[in-house]
Structure 1
Amino acid sequence: MAHATQVSRSEFAGTRAPLIGAVSRVKETVTQWAQRRRTRSHLALLDDRLLNDIGMDRLIASEETNRTFWRA
């Protein structure tokens, strides 16, 4: 007959820590991607005067807005 092994709460919590850390990193990454997508879509809406105010021209803004969201 097989005996069930009892695992203490601290042992159980210790095995979950890597998973929790991984989930947290995934959440941070997805949040950062969403922020980049929003920022780049807003950048595409700026007129030349506003782009000049932030030190960009239309070409640089276009290159930035055409980058994929996962690229910094």
Structure 2
Amino acid sequence: MSHAITIKLPDSLMTTGGYPLPFLARVAVQFAVIVTKWDMNYRTRKQLARLDEHMLRDIGIERDAACTEARRPFWH
């Protein structure tokens, strides 16, 4: 079960007044987005591991698949 999340930054986030952000500012924004995605992966996988059988059935995931996904590292 792999549902890759693609994050497209709005152009307005990478510019100020119509000009591109300085290099270090762009790197800082991209780093913040990556760390936020990792945090979301960590939290959602931890919650997935805690779901009971009834909840897993509701979302259509079997226990084995949930456990496999929950064990994946946060950066994947």
* TM-score, normalization by structure 1: 0.75
Percent identity of paired positions between Structure 1 and Structure 2: 37
Amino acid at match of 2:50: L
Q: Which residue in the other structure is 2:39 paired with?
A: 34
Paired residue total? 57
Deviation of 1:41 after TM superposition, in Å, equals 0.3
Deviation of 1:25 after TM superposition, in Å, equals 0.3
Q: Which has the higher strand share?
A: 2
Q: Could you tell me how far apart the structure 2 residues matched to 1:60 and 1:53 are?
A: 14
User: What secondary structure does 1:65 align onto?
Assistant: helix
Q: Which residue in the other structure is 1:43 paired with?
A: 48
Deviation of 1:66 after TM superposition, in Å, equals 0.3
Unmatched 5+ residue regions in structure 1?
A: 1-13
Q: Could you tell me how far apart the structure 2 residues matched to 1:47 and 1:57 are?
A: 10
Q: Which has the higher helix share?
A: 1
**What's the C-alpha RMSD, in Å, of the aligned pairs?**
1.4
Give 4+ residue runs of structure 1 displaced > 3 Å after superposition.
none
Q: Which residue in the other structure is 1:65 paired with?
A: 70
